[in-house]
Structure 1
Amino acid sequence: MAKWTAFPYDNADYVHDAAALKKHWARLHAGDAEPWPKDAAVQEAWALFHAGEFRKAVDAGLKAGGGGITAANKAQAIYANYLEKSEKTKLDLFLELAQRAEAQAAAEPKNANAHYLMAYAVGRYGQGISVAKALAQGLGSKVKNALETTIKLAPKHADAHIALGAFHAEVIDKVGKLLGRTQGADAATGLKMFQAALKLNPDSAIAMVEYANGLVMLEGDKRMKEAEQLYAQAAACTPADAMERLDVEMAKAELED
């Protein structure tokens, strides 16, 4: 495996031992509703993830098995999305992750994050190869179905609401409302999903960023002011871990553009 890019910020605030991890668990997992793992090896994989040690989290999670696979998959997802510089490697990481999460979902059909991380990986892969191409390959319905399954299994899964909102917005933005309808994409549903995500996780910088993106994609320049306010709010968030730090830094970059 190619060398992974290190987390580029100070991670001192994001390093937790098992007791601190348990204490902060509800806040750290407000987005993905992942239950607290009883297995110490799985806890360690999650601690590595939250500290931005993504490569080590993947190795530790796969070695731990069970719930550790979820930690490994999330670490690979966040690393590929934010830190991998090679487009080809990024797509390879998403493909590998999609296959692993799909196998996990087949083995544990009630594991909400197996479905969610499969959708995340397929969605990001689709963006990488072009949304139109991904839709032609039937990847759109795969993402939509997996996210709807996630929400059915875990109604408080804020991140799945964000991703489903982004699905509706992206499809309509790329192929238009009429063709979007054939993919099950609907502007009103998309906006409702973003709003639900922020209700479930009001401190989520990524929910604010994706909602801002969605507003502009679905409603154009007339919502630009609102979008800029959301970017500013996201940039002012206090991150609880390495992933949230990457979200906040992305919001800052959006504001500068």
Structure 2
Amino acid sequence: MYRYGGTALSSNWARLHRGDLEPYPTTDSLAELLGTNPELMPHAPDLAAIVALIEDAWRAYHAGDFADAVDYGLAAGPVGMVVAARAAAVYASHLEEDEVRRLAILRDTVESCAALVQLAPNWINAWYVYGLALGRYSQNISVVKALAQGLGGKVRDSLHRVIQLNPGHADAHVGLGVYHAEVIDKVGGMVAALTYGARKEAVVDHFEAARGLHPQSPVVLAEYARSTQLAFGHAHSGRAHEIFGEAAACQPADALERLDVEWALGELE
């Protein structure tokens, strides 16, 4: 349904990547990435071939062919890891029903992203997918267990790194909003603030920033609604319901956005 063949991918790229600000894959954008992260250079001997693989990976990702997106991304080497990790995290979080397999996918993704940020410390979206993968893994082993293992701090620090490098990264604001909300939900407002620096006002601040940067995104809005429920409880259930309604009314541009529209519709039933 969301197939962006030929020039359709480039012409829709700005809408599809408003949240993560990922540059369109070209030999020039790849050369710029290699220039700021020189340790990637030995892993990218043929820029034109790698660009084609990354384009195919993003086409598969947006279409919801997440396994193909992982395969294309991995075939491109480390410079394809951002799209491969995104696809793996979405598949594991939204579609994989087997708990053991889901955790295995997320654990492998975390390990791959940890290696990537060591190799490419100036790549903004490498830090983003590392934070994303850590967050999804933490949710699946339980937030309390993740906090005990120190994973919460790694999620926060990775996403803060993204915001420091580019304050306009809406998806990183979403991730930080989710982080604050989930910590508050699991340990309570006072412990969350004193021990982990998680605060209710930060939930609102990050999601309002994300909504300003990426309006009409069902991903931003559905996560905002859920985080409102977690951080504020029944006192703000009407507000959460209202935001879910906004998410459900969005026009999805790809398979992930469709999944979040369907999630929002389910919450309204």
TM-score by length of 1: 0.92
The equivalent residue for 2:175 is 163
Q: CA deviation at 1:108?
A: 0.9
How many residue pairs match? The answer is: 244
Alignment of 1:186-205 (within 5 A): 186-205=199-218
Whether the 8 Å contact between 1:18 and 1:44 is mirrored in structure 2 is no
After superposition, what is the alpha-carbon deviation per residue over 1:22-49, rounded to whole angstroms, capped at 9, x for unaligned?
0000100011111111112211111111
Equivalent of 1:60 in 72, 79, 87: 72
| Structure 1: 4+ residue segments shifted above 6 A | none
Matched residue SS, 1:67: helix
Residue 66 of structure 1: how far off its partner (Å): 4.3
Aligned to 1:23: 11
Counterpart position of 2:20: 32
Q: In structure 1, what is the Cα distance between the partners aligned to 2:134 and 2:210?
A: 20
Q: Is the CA contact 2:225–2:244 (under 8 Å) kept in the aligned structure 1?
A: yes
Instruction: For residue 218 of structure 1, report the CA deviation from its aligned partner.
Output: 2.1
Matched, 1:148 2:160: yes
* 1:183 counterpart residue number: 196
CA distance in 1, matches of 2:103, 2:78: 25
Q: Percent identity?
A: 46
Output aligned runs, 1:117-136, within 5 Å: 117-136=129-148
8 Å CA contact 1:18–1:43 kept in 2: the answer is: no
State the distance in 2 between where 1:96 and 1:167 align: 21
For 2:76 and 2:144, how far apart are their aligned partners in 1?
Answer: 38
Instruction: Structure 2 unaligned segments of length 5 or more: list them.
Output: 27-50
Distance 1:236 1:190 in 2: 22
Give the Å deviation of 1:70. Answer: 1.1
> Which residue matches 1:73?
85
Following TM superposition, by how much is the alpha carbon of 1:18 offset from its aligned partner in structure 2, in angstroms?
Answer: 3.5
Q: Distance in 2 between matches of 1:70 and 1:121?
A: 11
8 Å CA contact 1:236–1:248 kept in 2: the answer is yes
Structure 1 stretches lacking a partner, 5+ long: 1-10
- Give the Cα–Cα distance (whole angstroms) in 2 for the partners of residues 18 and 106 of structure 1: 34
The answer as to whether partners of 1:37 and 1:67 remain within 8 angstroms in 2 is no
TM-superposed deviation, 1:73: 0.9
2:226 — aligned with what?
Answer: 213
Contact residue 33 and residue 154 of structure 1 kept, 8 A: no
Pairwise CA RMSD: 1.2
What one-letter code is carried by the residue in structure 2 that aligns with 1:228? Answer: H
Aligned-pair CA distance for 1:110: 1.4
Q: CA deviation at 1:67?
A: 3.3
